[in-house]
Amino acid sequence: MSERRISIPWITVILIGINLILYGLETITGGSESNRVAIRFGAQYLPLVLQGEYWRVFTSMFLHFGWDHLAGNMFSLFIIGQIVEPYYGRIRFLLLYLISGIGGNLLSLFMDMGSKEPAISAGASGAIFGIMAAFLIFALDSQMRRAFPLPRVLLGLILSLAPGFYSSGINLSAHLGGFAVGLLMAFLLKLTLPQDRILVEEYEEFEE
């Protein structure tokens, strides 16, 4: 029996590191739960974006409000990233993550346009839901469906999205937007994968 090669998901590790560093900087410069600090570091806020600060759609992906917010997202990123990054490779995974996060933030901005009090928003969850969408691609792939059966994948997605429908503190638009864009990107990026790049054996441990 051959020894399984250990592949370190470096992009996942780097993304987590960036989030942790920025959280530390927020904390020492006024607190991560301060709206003033969040705005200073690049949180998304519709009036400022409309004034030309478009970069906030990107930077807000790396900021978090409070330790619970950060810990929950980084734990999810760590678990999901270990599965999705080896499948797509580093560059494709990074594209999937960033474009999903931007897509989620754009939908959040669009929804805020109908609000009299736009929210100050930040967090990696839109991007994380984007890479989570790859599980649905796995479930529909003839080589991967044994490790990722469709009923289990759908249940996991439903349970992950459900809190956003009843909790006012969760940006459901960012989650849904990130997932939708991520699903499209995961499908398109899969088409660019060489057949010998898809190693089903590495996912046997996820089978029931």
The dihedral of CA 53, 57, 60, 62: what is its sign? negative
Binned at pLDDT 50, 70 and 90, residue 135 comes out as very high
The pLDDT assigned to 207 comes to: 53
With respect to residue 174, please indicate whether it lies within any of the assigned structural domains: yes
Amino acid (one-letter) located at 32? S
With respect to residue 77, please indicate whether it lies within any of the assigned structural domains: yes
Task: Dump pLDDT digits (tens) for 55-86.
Answer: 999 999 999 999 999 999 999 999 999 999 99
With respect to residue 73, please indicate whether it lies within any of the assigned structural domains: yes
Active site residues: 125, 175
The pLDDT assigned to 3 comes to: 47
DSSP the chain: -PPPPP---HHHHHHHHHHHHHHHHHHHTT-TT-HHHHHHHT-B-HHHHHTT-TTHHHHGGG--SHHHHHHHHHHHHHHHHHHHHHHH-HHHHHHHHHHHHHHHHHHHHHHHTT-SSPPPB--SHHHHHHHHTHHHHHHTSTTTTTTS-HHHHHHHHHHHHTHHHH-TTS-HHHHHHHHHHHHHHHHHHHTTS-GGG--GGGGGGG--
pTM of this structure = 0.90
With respect to residue 208, please indicate whether it lies within any of the assigned structural domains: no
Residues in the chain: 208
The total domain count for the chain is 1
Question: Which of 98 and 168 is assigned the larger pLDDT?
Answer: 98
CA dihedral 180, 184, 189, 195 (to 10 degrees): 110
With respect to residue 206, please indicate whether it lies within any of the assigned structural domains: no
With respect to residue 91, please indicate whether it lies within any of the assigned structural domains: yes
With respect to residue 127, please indicate whether it lies within any of the assigned structural domains: yes
With respect to residue 3, please indicate whether it lies within any of the assigned structural domains: no
The pLDDT assigned to 194 comes to: 85
Q: Give residue 143's domain range.
A: 10-191
CATH number of residue 136's parent domain:
1.20.1540.10
